[in-house]
């Protein structure tokens, strides 16, 4: 069962909350889950439970605690507006520092992996080039990845995009990423849009399953 914990960011000592779940069965490692702009909502809670069921200890930080502690928004226009506002106010370094705090809380017990969605997909991409003690990362539909494609990941990372995504120009993003990193695995799912890991109306079940299988395979390959 998941519970809320408190961690301290190394950049400024700020204490933020995070959803934490112990692994079920044999421990396979740790996973840090980075939210969309809507906070630790039902979709992220389901994702945390899913990773825990697979044998991972999971931490999902509440990324906007500096703006509004415990922020959770509806997946509507107003929720999106506030989430984007908070993401801008949070800046570039606060989220990376918070990710590092999560990694530090897990690293003494085995490999630590990172997965993020939407806003979290961008943070995952950026964190992979800046944090330490990260074994591998999987970034889902991060709108800011292309704009920072020049970053050099310190660990293996894969990227996922939905071909039907109305928010991300997929072809332009692919071009930018492939120019900077020709060999980086980037997967485009033809039948899905934005946020497809949430299994909503824009998600093709086969795409959801395939992306998860690829992510788990990456993590398993980098357990040592």
Could you say which of 2.40.37.10, 3.30.70.120, 3.50.50.60, 3.40.50.1820 is the CATH number of the domain covering 3-221? 3.40.50.1820
Tell me the C-alpha to C-alpha distance, in Å, between residue 180 and each of 15, 70, 145, 149, 183: 36, 37, 11, 6, 9
Contact criterion met (CB below 8 Å) for 16 and 61:
yes
Nearest residue to 196 via CA among 164, 152, 155: 164
Could you give the strand order of the β-sheet that contains 15-21, starting from the edge strand earlier in sequence? Answer: 3-8, 15-21, 56-61, 29-34, 112-117, 136-140, 157-162, 186-189
pLDDT tens for 38-82 read 999 999 999 999 999 999 999 999 999 999 999 999 999 999 999
Which of the four pLDDT bands, split at 50, 70 and 90, describes residue 163? very high
Contact residues for 223 (Cβ-Cβ < 8 A; gap 6+): 28, 29, 110, 111, 135
Q: How far apart are CA 121 and CA 126, in angstroms?
A: 9
Quote the pLDDT of residue 89.
97
Average pLDDT score over residue span 177-189: 97
CA angle in degrees (0–180, nearest 5) for 136-111-177 = 5
**Tokens found for residue 99:** 């990710």
Sign of CA dihedral 181, 182, 183, 188: positive
**148: pLDDT strictly greater than 90:** yes
pLDDT value of residue 35? 98
Q: Where are the domains of the chain?
A: 3-221
Contacts of 4 (CB under 8 A, 6+ apart): 17, 18, 19, 20
Average pLDDT, the chain: 97
Q: Is the pLDDT of residue 140 over 80?
A: yes
**For position 1, what pLDDT does the model report?**
75
pLDDT for residue 80: 94
């Amino acid at each position: 069962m998941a519970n809320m914990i408190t961690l301290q960011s190394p950049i400024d000592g700020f204490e933020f909350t995070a959803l934490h779940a112990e692994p079920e069965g044999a421990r396979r490692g740790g996973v840090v889950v980075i939210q969309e702009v809507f906070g630790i909502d039902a979709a992220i809670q389901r994702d945390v439970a899913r990773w825990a069921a697979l044998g991972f200890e999971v931490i999902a930080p509440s990324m906007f605690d500096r703006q509004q502690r415990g922020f959770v928004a509806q997946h509507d226009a107003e929720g999106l507006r506030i989430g984007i506002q908070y993401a801008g106010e949070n800046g570039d370094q606060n989220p990376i520092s918070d990710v590092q705090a999560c990694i530090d809380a897990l690293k003494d017990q085995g490999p630590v992996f990172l997965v993020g969605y939407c806003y979290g997909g961008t943070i995952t991409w950026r964190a992979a080039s800046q944090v330490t003690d990260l074994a591998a990362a999987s970034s889902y539909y991060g709108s800011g990845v292309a704009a920072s494609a020049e970053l050099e990941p310190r660990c293996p990372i894969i990227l996922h995009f939905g071909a039907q995504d109305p928010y991300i120009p997929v072809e332009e993003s692919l071009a930018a990423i492939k120019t900077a990193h020709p060999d980086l695995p980037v997967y485009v799912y033809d039948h899905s849009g934005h946020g497809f890991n949430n299994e909503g109306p824009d998600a093709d079940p086969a795409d959801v399953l395939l992306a998860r299988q690829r992510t788990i395979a990456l993590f398993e390959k980098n357990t040592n």
